[in-house]
A and B are shown apart, each in its own frame.
Chain A
Amino acid sequence: MTCLPASQPGQKKLGLVIDLDTCVGCQACATNCKEWNTSGMSAPLPDFNAYSAGAEGVWFNRVHSFEAGVGAAGKTVHFPRSCLHCDNAACVTVCPTGASYKRAEDGIVLVDADKCIGCQLCAWSCAYGAREFDEDAGVMKKCTLCVDRIYNENIPEAQRKPACVVTCPTGARHFGDLGDPESDVSKLVAARDGYALMPELDYQPVNRYLPPRAHVVPEQGKPVEDAPTPMDIKSGLLRWMDKVLTR
């Protein structure tokens, strides 16, 4: 079962598209994910040393910030990082027990906590640091793409998306079928030149990131006129006197 499912034509690949041009780094995805999942199918997500030094917990979503480029010409980028639900998921194939698996029906990579022996090899094999070891329970946990939300009939249909997507205030996170070229997310990726992380590893992530838009380089925009002379200013004021204004 830790063999990856054979990919069918038109294979459904549920995943996220994260717009780095829009993400302001507010951490909503991180904490909403935490509150959903700490009582979700991977419950609980423990926090160690919760009120002292060395506080750290299990989180499925972590938001980094980076600076790309130098000085004012550069860009600060907030960068949410979570499981990419790779097509070629090494975390699945390395699993010795079959606990880690990729679903044939929608491509979600999950861990069966009852089978996990806690060898942590999947964490070693994940290039992106998406695996989260619950050192209390001794089992590996990870982003489930909110599999207990997205098909949940007790949730209004509009909200049947991963918690991080529903809560994102800027709408920087999108959810859908990246296997379907006609889906909204696929079109968005095509339109915005979306990309996969670390393609050189050939893990073939499903999730895509949309790059920050090319921004204005100061003073390379349209030309502006020369600095004015004092004469211009004087005449400007005089001209106001002749303006005819009505209500």
Chain B
Amino acid sequence: MKPAGSIVFFTVASGAGYGLLVWLGLLAGTGLLRITVGGLLLAQGLALALVTAGLCSSLLHLGHAERAWRALSQWRSSWLSREGVAAVLTYLPVLGAAAAVYAGAYPLAVALGVMGAVCALATVYCTSMIYASLKPIKEWSHPLVPAGYVVLALFSGAALLAPLLALLGGDSGMPALQVLIFGALAAGLKWQYWRSIDTARPLATLESATGLGRIGATKPLDPPHTQSNYLMREMGFRVARKHANKLRALTLWGGLLAPAGLAALSLGAASPMVAALPLVLGLLLAVAGMLLERWLMFAEATHTVTLYYRGN
């Protein structure tokens, strides 16, 4: 599948934003987060900005962005519609929570924060299910895809929250711990996912796609048109195996395990400012890793339609 820049940015930015909202909502509610009111508002604002930027970016992918409102209508069947609804709904508790924080109504803020966290998680899950529900793409239609989206959102949210706290002069220990845990978890999950898609049997074959297996092994002779087309540009994109392996390693070590390690390093830091250094570096690596992971998510995905053109 062709990595669409707008979609890669959308899922990375909104994933981090929603992850941040989850942590803010849950940690604030359970009192595990030590942060000033201003800091909390700043973090909430940052999360919403990321989410909004991501959503705006996703509109760039549309042929008719001005009709995007229509996408809220089909939540009964469509994960994309559900994502839209969830995304819009998430604004309500989160803005409410921010208002409550501002107004000092902390119990209400906690309640709304938790609601916001639930909505954010739901949105991320809906996003993941857009991909996971696409049966023709075996790398997406995989149980580890939703888990991956959620874990990576939590990882990137934490990776964002930790340096933010440190830079605000607060205690970044808790989110750093999350970075460590979710970084390692994400690394394990991705490793398992890659291993799984590498060894998975093909969902369909040219023989089943044409029904000609009854005659014998089937190969394409001539394509319908000698030049490319929309389908092949969109679904036919492939990254070379060697290239993909490098990018996977980079994602795994540089984008997930390195931030986790840096987060662990920050735990022993003498001061927030000292902790901030590895955490900021970790954030940058995590962002790069996320972009890479999403790019690979597309580039490694294969669509059954290519069977008709390439035989695989």
In contact, B215 and A74 (Cβ under 8 angstroms) = yes
**Chain B residues, CB < 8 A from A94:** 77-80, 130, 133-134
Q: Taking the complex as formed, is B304 at the interface, i.e. its CB lies under 8 A from any CB of chain A?
A: yes
Q: Taking the complex as formed, is A212 at the interface, i.e. its CB lies under 8 A from any CB of chain B?
A: yes
Residue of A nearest to B137 (CB): A124
**Chain A residues, CB < 8 A from B68:** 117
In contact, A68 and B217 (Cβ under 8 angstroms) = yes
Given A56-B227, A198-B304, are A127 and B211 neighbors across the interface (CB < 8 Å)? no
B215 interface neighbour in A53, A68, A121, A137, Cβ under 8 Å: A68
In contact, A118 and B63 (Cβ under 8 angstroms) = yes
Q: Taking the complex as formed, is A209 at the interface, i.e. its CB lies under 8 A from any CB of chain B?
A: yes
Q: Taking the complex as formed, is B216 at the interface, i.e. its CB lies under 8 A from any CB of chain A?
A: yes
Q: Taking the complex as formed, is A98 at the interface, i.e. its CB lies under 8 A from any CB of chain B?
A: yes
Expressed in whole angstroms, the minimum distance between the Cβ of B162 and any Cβ of chain A is: 34
In contact, A209 and B221 (Cβ under 8 angstroms) = no
Specify which of A63, A98, A137 lies most central, judged by the most chain B CB atoms within 10 Å of its CB. A98
Interface residues of chain B: helix, strand, loop or mixed (majority) = mixed
Please count how many residues in chain A sit with their CB below 8 Å of the partner chain's CB atoms. 72
Which of A76-84, A160-168, A169-177, A223-231 is the contact stretch? Answer: A76-84
Q: Taking the complex as formed, is A181 at the interface, i.e. its CB lies under 8 A from any CB of chain B?
A: no
Given A3-B77, A56-B230, A127-B135, are A96 and B209 neighbors across the interface (CB < 8 Å)? no
In contact, B1 and A79 (Cβ under 8 angstroms) = no
Chain A residues proximal to chain B, CB less than 8 Å = 1-4, 20, 30, 53-56, 58-59, 62-70, 73-77, 79, 81, 90, 92-99, 115-121, 123-129, 131-135, 137-140, 195-203, 209, 211-212
* 23 pairs, A vs B, C-beta closer than 8 Å: A1-B74, A59-B225, A65-B221, A66-B219, A67-B221, A68-B216, A77-B210, A93-B78, A94-B77, A95-B80, A97-B67, A98-B70, A117-B63, A117-B64, A117-B67, A124-B234, A124-B303, A125-B135, A125-B136, A127-B204, A127-B303, A200-B203, A201-B136
